[in-house]
A and B are shown apart, each in its own frame.
Chain A
Amino acid sequence: MKLDAKIPSGPLPQKWSKHQFDLKLINPANKRKYSVIMVGSGLAGGGGAASLAELGYTVKCFCYQDSPRRAHSIAAQGGINAAKNYRNDGDSVWRLFYDTVKGGDFRAREANVHRLAEVSNNIIDQCAALGVPFAREYGGLLDNRSFGGAQVSRTFYARGQTGQQLLLGAYQALQRQVARGQVQMFTRHEMLELIVVDGRARGIVARDMVSGAIETHLADAVCLATGGYGNVFFLSTNAKGCNGTAIWRAYKKGAGFANPCFTQIHPTCIPVTGEHQSKLTLMSESLRNDGRIWVPKRKGDNRAPADIPEDERDYYLERRYPSYGNLAPRDISSRAAKQVCDEGRGVGPTGLGVYLDFADAIARLGEDAIRERYGNLCEMYERITAENPYKVPMRIFPAMHYTMGGLWVDYNLESTIPGLFVLGEANFSDHGANRLGASALMQGLADGYFIIPYTIGDYLARAPKRAVPTDHPEVRAAVGGVTERVQRLLSIKGKRTVTSFHRALGKIMWEHCGMARNRSALQAGLSMIPPLREEFWANVAVPGSGEGVNQSLEMAGRVADFLEMGELLIRDALERDESCGCHFREEHITPDGEAKRDDERFAHVAVWEYAGDDKAPVRNQEPLTFDNLQLATRSYK
């Protein structure tokens, strides 16, 4: 597998502007002759589809939801970063770049991250112009707050619904293009295969989830903006429908899969209550601006939190990381929570929880101020737990949240399959081994609004303009494969439900490849997946037919892919014999318990290449070079 990241030459701050000039253009009148397929309608997909349509390309956009407005970007709560320096607190493009590379534990490309920091400011401008109701101060200017991993206030927000408001901005821009006829929207459609003709991505096979029809859609280029694969863990903060099928199909058609083991566990989620649990709910990291995290000092102390005196509480993040305190990055905060729970100091009925306490902030600022900042989050917490967080500290625990890994892309967001572009969480590019809070919205919109509109034009201008006939052998093979797979799932008629397999897989992943990993646990996990997969294909129960709405069938296809993807994830975690960011190998720990990187052996992107169903995948490497930042041990103390 040839991995050319196509990083432009020249000094880092000039790379993107130089590259923009070097990219080939397509005459405005000719753009309509080019068609682009966009799979996904979140910030990256919806924003990208709207931007491409605005340029004049003919766009087909697909989403599995009943409306593009429901993509899971909508659930992001806390905010979006930008290097505006509106606070006059020393922020700059360079500082955002530096914080992001450091936050990712030096496992991301310098050039990509710098570009992300550069366009961050355009994003805020664009969103404000689209009518996103960002929080404002009495003077009418934009407000900011702080997020983990930064010592400046650079996070813009719209109450606790920032993702919703940014997505609605993109969605409205998209609907405007739908009305103009520039975007054709396919809702309740799920991509089930990628069509590659003469080595180039030329279309997709999708299932109409209402009629059950298997459809072929062809275009000059294909973009995947299908989000992350966190649901491989079954319980995660992802929406129930989030899945890895689109990127997994692309992987099996030759797209490299980068750093699959880089999966982010978010420190502040509502703890699990029982086996019936279907998903986990995030409590925004922004709460850590005003909430203090603690557990009792004494093991097994089961007094009510209010009865535990101040000197018997351990504010462990403030103690261990005095300069960042409760705003330590996510990976570090999650691990610290796990450690205190492992020591038997966890709280709540399961012992898997820590307190997030607003008492001090309420005493200082008043309950109204806290309600204004976090009212909707506190309400959500109360609805789920029946506890009032203004009176009793919240109980929180880490949960699977985001995947930094994804399909490998070069600087143009193009995968190893020419003409296949990957945007947003679905790609691997910018967050390294750990994503900082409020950076996912930034990356999704950067890819959709400000990067793909430039880079795709260059590809289209260079690619041969050739129509693919709908009866091309590759098209027929793709459609045949999908049809056969659907029939196969329906014909097993086993005894065990899809959800039961999914839950079993999730348990393997969480226990063997979760917050802390080690060789023997990973090996054990790796050996448990193939038998589960075999049982799935022999005993899964998928009632109904392929015609009409069949939610069991939809889930079965996704879980079948997760059962393969989980194995690759563990394999990658096993091969990456170092600790970095979210990837915490217990064999590689510094004396004070932090992740210990091995830059000699692992300062690279691991890119997995599919080699066939019965062959082990091939691990390729893209070396990471740091010409502008010094590879340093991350410290938040």
Chain B
Amino acid sequence: MNLTLNVWRQKDARTPGRFVTYEAHDISPDMSFLEMLDVVNERLIEDGDEPIAFDHDCREGICGTCGVVINGRPHGPKERTTACQLHMRSFRNGDLLTIEPWRAKAFPVLRDLIVDRSGLDRIIAAGGFISAAIGSAPDANALPVRKENADLAMDAAACIGCGACVAACPNASAMLFTAAKVSHLGLLPQGQPERAERVRRMIAQMDAEGFGGCTNHEECQAACPKAVSVEVMARMNADFIMASITVGRRDARLGDTAGG
């Protein structure tokens, strides 16, 4: 196959970027999308040019490192598929592909197609955990978990933190990402003691990072390579309302309006 690529090139966070056109010749339909970029890069290097920088690592759809917008769609046209698992047989000979980085205020471009997603780490650091000191755990079967809840928790925990939901959202909101973790931990009995503070802190951090608000477009769910459902956001909203009542009451008593 032969394709034309319209690729975003940007030297660093401070320098403005632009689209550059490349021809991708002799592409096998069995190549992954990233392998196609590898081929283009090998030719660029052989010609003495600098290759297109893009993030990638496991190349089996689980690490969440890769992710580019292909013709306007995060991770490309195939549902529930990361860019590394997208194969060129999903495209046709002669196609024009426009390839861009995730676009979001909270994800500054570091170079070409690489963005800084450390805001997602800070949302987790704000409360996306269960405080269980190493060595203090009771026997794993001492605390049964309803299978239905365990399965729903796993559905939410399948999030790979790639940021496609943010890239797909017209508001660049990180609701789906944040809600997936709130749901995962909130559905488990182990997650109950911190449930109210967790949701408040994570949402506060999400806002502080500059992610937008949710206006229910549900583009995030469509773009999510792990099919995390917007149901997690309903659960987070319910938790947040409940937390605003219970944590607020406690904070008022303690005279601590900042929360947690």
Q: Mark B140-166, 1 if CB is under 8 A from A, else 0.
A: 110111110010011001101100000
Check B56 for interface membership: any CB of A closer than 8 A. Answer: yes
Check B39 for interface membership: any CB of A closer than 8 A. Answer: yes
Q: Mark A61-94, 1 if CB is under 8 A from B, else 0.
A: 0000111111010110000000010100000000
Q: How far is the CA of A230 from the CA of B253 in the complex (A)?
A: 57
Q: How far is the CA of A74 from the CA of B111 in the complex (A)?
A: 25
- Report the minimum CB–CB distance from A418 to chain B (whole Å): 25
In the bound complex, do residue A278 and residue B60 qualify as a contact, i.e. CB atoms below 8 Å apart? no
In the bound complex, do residue A240 and residue B188 qualify as a contact, i.e. CB atoms below 8 Å apart? no
Across-interface contacts of A450 in B (CB, < 8 A) = 134-135
Check B58 for interface membership: any CB of A closer than 8 A. Answer: yes
Across-interface contacts of A158 in B (CB, < 8 A) = 154, 157
In the bound complex, do residue B61 and residue A380 qualify as a contact, i.e. CB atoms below 8 Å apart? yes
Residues from 74 to 101 in B contacting A, C-beta threshold 8 Å: 78, 80-81, 85-87, 89
Across-interface contacts of B118 in A (CB, < 8 A) = 66-67, 187
Q: Mark B153-187, 1 if CB is under 8 A from A, else 0.
A: 11001101100000000000000000000001100
In the bound complex, do residue A128 and residue B190 qualify as a contact, i.e. CB atoms below 8 Å apart? yes
- A interface, how many residues as a size bin? 35 or more
- Report the minimum CB–CB distance from A87 to chain B (whole Å): 12
- Report the minimum CB–CB distance from B44 to chain A (whole Å): 8
In the bound complex, do residue A176 and residue B125 qualify as a contact, i.e. CB atoms below 8 Å apart? yes
Q: How far is the CA of A569 from the CA of B167 in the complex (A)?
A: 44
In the bound complex, do residue A175 and residue B124 qualify as a contact, i.e. CB atoms below 8 Å apart? yes
In the bound complex, do residue B120 and residue A67 qualify as a contact, i.e. CB atoms below 8 Å apart? yes
Check B255 for interface membership: any CB of A closer than 8 A. Answer: no
In the bound complex, do residue A74 and residue B50 qualify as a contact, i.e. CB atoms below 8 Å apart? no
Give which listed residue, B30, B80, B147, B157, contacts A274 with CB less than 8 A: B30
Across-interface contacts of A47 in B (CB, < 8 A) = 134
Check B28 for interface membership: any CB of A closer than 8 A. Answer: yes
In the bound complex, do residue A544 and residue B191 qualify as a contact, i.e. CB atoms below 8 Å apart? no
Q: How far is the CA of A543 from the CA of B154 in the complex (A)?
A: 44
In the bound complex, do residue A543 and residue B39 qualify as a contact, i.e. CB atoms below 8 Å apart? no
In the bound complex, do residue A278 and residue B59 qualify as a contact, i.e. CB atoms below 8 Å apart? yes
In the bound complex, do residue A549 and residue B134 qualify as a contact, i.e. CB atoms below 8 Å apart? no
Check B215 for interface membership: any CB of A closer than 8 A. Answer: no
Q: Which of B1-9, B62-70, B206-214, B235-243 faces chain A?
A: B62-70
- Report the minimum CB–CB distance from B200 to chain A (whole Å): 14
Check A434 for interface membership: any CB of B closer than 8 A. Answer: no
Residue of A nearest to B185 (CB): A131
Q: Mark A123-134, 1 if CB is under 8 A from B, else 0.
A: 011111111011
Q: Mark B111-142, 1 if CB is under 8 A from A, else 0.
A: 10010111011001110111111111111110
In the bound complex, do residue B34 and residue A278 qualify as a contact, i.e. CB atoms below 8 Å apart? yes
In the bound complex, do residue B150 and residue A164 qualify as a contact, i.e. CB atoms below 8 Å apart? no
Check A551 for interface membership: any CB of B closer than 8 A. Answer: yes
In the bound complex, do residue B137 and residue A125 qualify as a contact, i.e. CB atoms below 8 Å apart? yes
In the bound complex, do residue A140 and residue B145 qualify as a contact, i.e. CB atoms below 8 Å apart? yes
Residue of B nearest to A163 (CB): B62
In the bound complex, do residue A239 and residue B58 qualify as a contact, i.e. CB atoms below 8 Å apart? yes
In the bound complex, do residue A141 and residue B141 qualify as a contact, i.e. CB atoms below 8 Å apart? yes
Asked whether A141 and B62 contact (CB < 8 A) given A175-B121, A543-B45, A543-B49, the answer is no
- Report the minimum CB–CB distance from A337 to chain B (whole Å): 21
Q: Is the interface of B mostly helix, strand, loop or mixed?
A: loop
Across-interface contacts of A541 in B (CB, < 8 A) = 45-46, 48
Asked whether A276 and B28 contact (CB < 8 A) given A241-B57, A543-B51, A552-B45, the answer is yes
Give which listed residue, B31, B50, B130, contacts A544 with CB less than 8 A: B50
In the bound complex, do residue B130 and residue A130 qualify as a contact, i.e. CB atoms below 8 Å apart? yes
Across-interface contacts of B65 in A (CB, < 8 A) = 65-66, 70
Check B12 for interface membership: any CB of A closer than 8 A. Answer: yes
Q: Mark A373-400, 1 if CB is under 8 A from B, else 0.
A: 0000001100110100000000000000
Check B55 for interface membership: any CB of A closer than 8 A. Answer: yes
Asked whether A449 and B48 contact (CB < 8 A) given A72-B63, A75-B60, the answer is no
Q: How far is the CA of A510 from the CA of B96 in the complex (A)?
A: 38
In the bound complex, do residue A136 and residue B150 qualify as a contact, i.e. CB atoms below 8 Å apart? yes
- Report the minimum CB–CB distance from A44 to chain B (whole Å): 13
Q: How far is the CA of A68 from the CA of B57 in the complex (A)?
A: 13
Check A135 for interface membership: any CB of B closer than 8 A. Answer: yes
- Report the minimum CB–CB distance from B193 to chain A (whole Å): 12
Check A159 for interface membership: any CB of B closer than 8 A. Answer: yes
Across-interface contacts of B56 in A (CB, < 8 A) = 240
In the bound complex, do residue B140 and residue A75 qualify as a contact, i.e. CB atoms below 8 Å apart? no
Check A486 for interface membership: any CB of B closer than 8 A. Answer: no
Check B42 for interface membership: any CB of A closer than 8 A. Answer: yes
Across-interface contacts of A72 in B (CB, < 8 A) = 57-58, 63
Check A19 for interface membership: any CB of B closer than 8 A. Answer: no
Q: Which residues of B does A touch, CB under 8 Å?
A: 11-12, 28, 30-32, 34-35, 38-39, 42, 45-46, 48-51, 53, 55-65, 78, 80-81, 85-87, 89, 110-111, 114, 116-118, 120-121, 124-126, 128-141, 143-147, 150, 153-154, 157-158, 160-161, 184-185, 188, 190-191
Of the A-B pairs whose beta carbons lie under 8 Å apart in the complex, a sample of 5, sorted by A's number, is A129-B136, A129-B137, A130-B190, A158-B154, A552-B51
Other A-B contacts than A129-B137, A131-B153, A274-B31, 10 sampled, CB-CB below 8 A, are A69-B121, A126-B135, A131-B132, A131-B188, A158-B157, A171-B124, A175-B124, A240-B59, A453-B134, A549-B110
